Structure 1
Amino acid sequence: EGAIARRIITKKAERRIIDYAFQYAKNDNKSKVTGVHKANVLKVTDGLFKEILYELAKDYEGEIEVEDFYVDATAMYLITRPESFEVIVTTNLFGDILSDEGAGLVGGLGMIPSGNIGENGALFEPVHGSAPDIAGQGIANPMAMLLSACMMLNYLKEYEAEESLNDAILKVLNEGKTLTPDLGGNATTAEVAEAIINALN
């Protein structure tokens, strides 16, 4: 008895995601890209990932620093020195795990936006999905959805609108008066949304 899983990594897909990471870093005035892999175990697939990471890094030499870590070490570094990271690029499985770990550092999944960005379009949504376990209770944190809207506005180059919405969210967070239970408050979804709208106005 047993099971075997196949893992497919293509040069085309790796080049796309890694080059996007460098472009994102450059456009957002970041100075470092960290590649995360497990090439010591997954020698062929993650070995290819690491090879392409350093191949593409040459195009940004002098502009963007590049480094790489094993995923297990990265999981520890995210806890012990999260400020050392600027842009992390990795494969889907590791990214899924590390992004949820990162969410734990900033208040949970209710704070995390996400973007699925393709060559011809993009879709933005909260990382937590539909959260059926709390549906209809009025306690879902709307900030992840609104921060996803910020990402969308950035993608659409609506920078002024993005900044206004982001500032309103930060104001409500920093005041700490109107927060949902996941952030230690007792406000409802609607109350938090209303506080952000008021801050926006």
Structure 2
Amino acid sequence: MEQAFASEFERMVAGRTYHSTDPDLSRMRAQTKRVLHEYNTTHPDDEETRMRLLRGLLGKVGDNAWIEPPFRCDYGGQISFGDFIFANYDLTILDCAPVTVGDRVLFGPGVTIATASHPLDFHQRAVEILEYAQPITIEEGAWIGARVVIGPGVTIGARAVIGAGSIVTRDVPADVVAVGNPCRVLRPITDADRDAYLATYGPSAV
């Protein structure tokens, strides 16, 4: 028997099909756009206002999180950012399902995180206007390169590096370099990568 849901929002967060045109969902997205408009038009030096707006909009914002404007999302409340997050310009998150980002994750410019999708069947997609959404998790220490797209239901493992322009449609394990469309594991990250970096650029200045 189909579980009873009190609203389209409940259906959405439960991973069931839902109507994105539902008036309540539309109002929630409109309010999020108002907050994001304020966030994205703050003075570059006004870090206090940006952090206040982020903490009021998102489900969780850890310490020392830095999200460069412009930033866009659908609802905000299902996004969880850990500590020491850095996101470059044009991060877009379609958070129709939970998006969980661990500590010390880096995002290059133009990254898209999309939990939402549509049925393949034309009638369901374009006549009934149905959608569904699946959670996305990015674990601690991952680096997401510029213009990467992460699709519904994906988990990216701790410390993984996703090459620029990749389209990630399947889980990526921890401690690997993955790249491509569709994104595939290229190789593991090893101590040799650290040694090569030191040989080229020298020891840390910290």
TM-score range for the pair, normalised by the shorter chain length? under 0.3
TM-score by length of 2: 0.27
TM-score (norm 1): 0.27
Q: Whose RCO is larger (CA < 8 A, sep 6+)?
A: 1
